[in-house]
Amino acid sequence: MGNIFMSLKDVGNKVPIYKLKTTEEVMKYYDEWGVENKYNNDMKEWNYTGPKETVDTFKKYSTNKDSIIFDAGCGTGLVGLQLKRFGYNNFHGADLSQKLLDTVPKDLYQKLIKVDLNKPIDIKDSFYDAVMCVGTFTFAHVKPQALDEFLRITKSNGLICFTINEGIYKEYGFDKKINELKKQNKWKELEFFKSDYIASKDINAWLGIYKVLK
């Protein structure tokens, strides 16, 4: 007879990055992961579908291809490649790892900046039409408070679209934060569902898209 604990997924043990604790460790790990295209090769091997699923959802609600989009935690630019595929032409990338930013294909993004998304972002209020954040709400990466900054830099009626690794969704308080923002009428939920993400490793993510109310 099965143990009840066997039905709980131990997501935190599945991928080495999930064991990291500090922002320093996370940065160092990604700096090394980018060498010789290893991150992109691993994502291909794992059949990581986060960028495609997120942009597929985003494009249903964002018909203006000239929208100015902030890709928060852009890494090697996998979300940028999907945005370009669907005709978006005006997006900026931001990431903690300069080494990953250096691997982003030239001219894919109009601008790339190095940022720590756990701190205030040096961008003026209501600048972007949309924020995308894929794969970056996960173990020891970026905390729920970053959603306040995403709201601040997004225009009224703009969109915020993100994934949250299922393993930290409750533990880090994303569930509470999302509901608080709904109750405060800071945003309206358009979709929120469990996406495949890294199904090959049995790791799924919540995928949400919200309309900003100001």
Ligand X SMILES: C[S@@+](CC[C@H](N)C(=O)[O-])C[C@H]1O[C@@H](n2cnc3c(N)ncnc32)[C@H](O)[C@@H]1O
List residues near ligand X by CB under 6 A.
23, 26, 30, 50-51, 73-75, 78-79, 95-97, 100, 115-118, 134-136, 141-142
Measured from the CB atom, is 23 or 90 closer to ligand X? 23
> Which residue's Cβ has the minimum distance to ligand X?
75
Measured from the CB atom, is 32 or 179 closer to ligand X? 32
**Exposure class string for 26-58: b at 16+ Cβ within 10 A, else e:** bbebbeebbeeeebbeebeeeebbbbbbbbebb
Cβ 213 to ligand X shortest distance, Å: 26
Cβ 185 to ligand X shortest distance, Å: 28
Instruction: Residue 50: name the closest of 194, 167, 168, 163 by CA.
Output: 163
Cβ 181 to ligand X shortest distance, Å: 20
C-alpha distances (whole Å) from 111 to each of 15, 71, 76 are 30, 10, 13
Measured from the CB atom, is 178 or 205 closer to ligand X? 205
Measured from the CB atom, is 67 or 138 closer to ligand X? 138
Cβ 179 to ligand X shortest distance, Å: 23
Give yes or no for a contact between 129 and 173, defined as CB atoms under 8 angstroms apart: no
Distance (Å, whole) CA 163 – CA 205:
6
Tell me the residue length of the chain: 214
Measured from the CB atom, is 77 or 158 closer to ligand X? 77
Cβ 77 to ligand X shortest distance, Å: 8
Look-up: residue for tokens 């020891």?
140
DSSP SS3 for 148: helix
